[in-house]
Amino acid sequence: DKKVVLITGCSSGIGLSLAVRLASDPDKTFKVYATMRNLSKKERLLESVKGLHRDTLDILQMDVTDQQSILDARDRIVEKRINILVCNAGVGLMGPLEVQSLNSMRHILEVNLLGTIQTIQAFLPQMKAQSQGRILVTGSTGGLHGLPFNEVYCASKFAIEGACESLAILLKHFNIHVSLIECGPVNTDFLVNLKKTELGDTSLQQVDTQTQRLYEKYLQHCRSVFQNAAQDTEDIVKVFLDAIQSPSPAFRYFTSTTGPPVTQLKVTEPDDSYISAMSKIIFSPEEQ
Ligand code: NAD
Contact 12, 189 (CB under 8 A): yes
The CA distance from 139 to 134, in Å, is 15
Mean of the pLDDT values across residues 8-25?
97
Domains of the chain: 3-198+231-287 (3.40.50.720)
The CA distance from 91 to 180, in Å, is 17
Question: 18, 106, 186, 237: which to mutate for ligand 1, most atoms within 8 A of CB?
Answer: 186
Contact 178, 160 (CB under 8 A): no
Q: What is the pLDDT of residue 264?
A: 65
Contact 91, 111 (CB under 8 A): yes
Q: What is the pLDDT of residue 233?
A: 97
Q: Tell me the CA–centroid distance for residue 196 and ligand 1, in Å.
A: 15
Q: What is the pLDDT of residue 138?
A: 98
Say yes or no to pLDDT of 89 above 90: yes
Q: What is the pLDDT of residue 254?
A: 92
Helix then strand count (H, E) for the chain reads: 12, 9
If you take atom 32 of ligand 1, which residue's CA is the nearest one? 90
Atom of ligand 1 nearest to the CA of 92: 34
Q: What is the pLDDT of residue 119?
A: 98
Q: What is the pLDDT of residue 31?
A: 97
Q: Kindly provide the ipTM of the predicted complex, given to two decimals.
A: 0.99
Q: What is the pLDDT of residues 207-240, one digit of tens each?
A: 999 999 899 989 988 888 899 889 999 999 999 9
Contact 48, 20 (CB under 8 A): yes
Mean of the pLDDT values across residues 130-138?
97
Q: What is the pLDDT of residue 271?
A: 74
Range 86-117 burial, b when 16+ CB lie within 10 A, else e: bbbbbbbbbbbeebbeeeebebbbbbbbbbbb
Q: What is the pLDDT of residues 237-257, one digit of tens each?
A: 999 999 999 999 999 999 997
Q: What is the pLDDT of residue 153?
A: 97
Answer yes or no: is the C-beta of 35 below 6 A from any ligand 1 atom.
Answer: no
Q: Tell me the CA–centroid distance for residue 12 and ligand 1, in Å.
A: 8
Answer yes or no: is the C-beta of 231 below 6 A from any ligand 1 atom.
Answer: no
Higher pLDDT, residue 158 or 284: 158
Mean of the pLDDT values across residues 84-110?
97
What would the DSSP string read from start to end of 39-92?
GGG-HHHHHHHTT--TTTEEEEE--TT-HHHHHHHHHT-TTS--SEEEE-----
CA neighbor of 195 nearest in space, from 115, 87, 114, 100? 100
> What's CA 274's distance to the chain center, in Å?
21
What would the DSSP string read from start to end of 149-177?
T-HHHHHHHHHHHHHHHHHHHHHGGGTEE
Contact 253, 179 (CB under 8 A): yes
* Average pLDDT along the chain: 92
pLDDT tier, 53 (very low <50, low <70, confident <90, very high otherwise): confident
pLDDT tier, 276 (very low <50, low <70, confident <90, very high otherwise): confident
Answer yes or no: is the C-beta of 88 below 6 A from any ligand 1 atom.
Answer: yes
Cα dihedral 75, 76, 78, 80 in deg (nearest 10): -20
**Residue 244, amino acid:** I
Q: Average the pLDDT over each of 2-6, 65-69, 105-109, 191-195 and give the range with the smallest value.
A: 191-195
Q: What is the pLDDT of residues 262-275, one digit of tens each?
A: 666 666 777 777 77
Mean of the pLDDT values across residues 62-88?
98
Cα dihedral 109, 113, 119, 124 in deg (nearest 10): -150
If you take atom 41 of ligand 1, which residue's CA is the nearest one? 186
Say yes or no to pLDDT of 27 above 70: yes
Q: What is the pLDDT of residue 263?
A: 63
Answer yes or no: is the C-beta of 183 below 6 A from any ligand 1 atom.
Answer: yes
Q: What is the pLDDT of residues 144-161, one digit of tens each?
A: 888 999 999 999 999 999
Q: HSE of 266 in the Cβ direction (CA atoms, 13 Å)?
A: 17
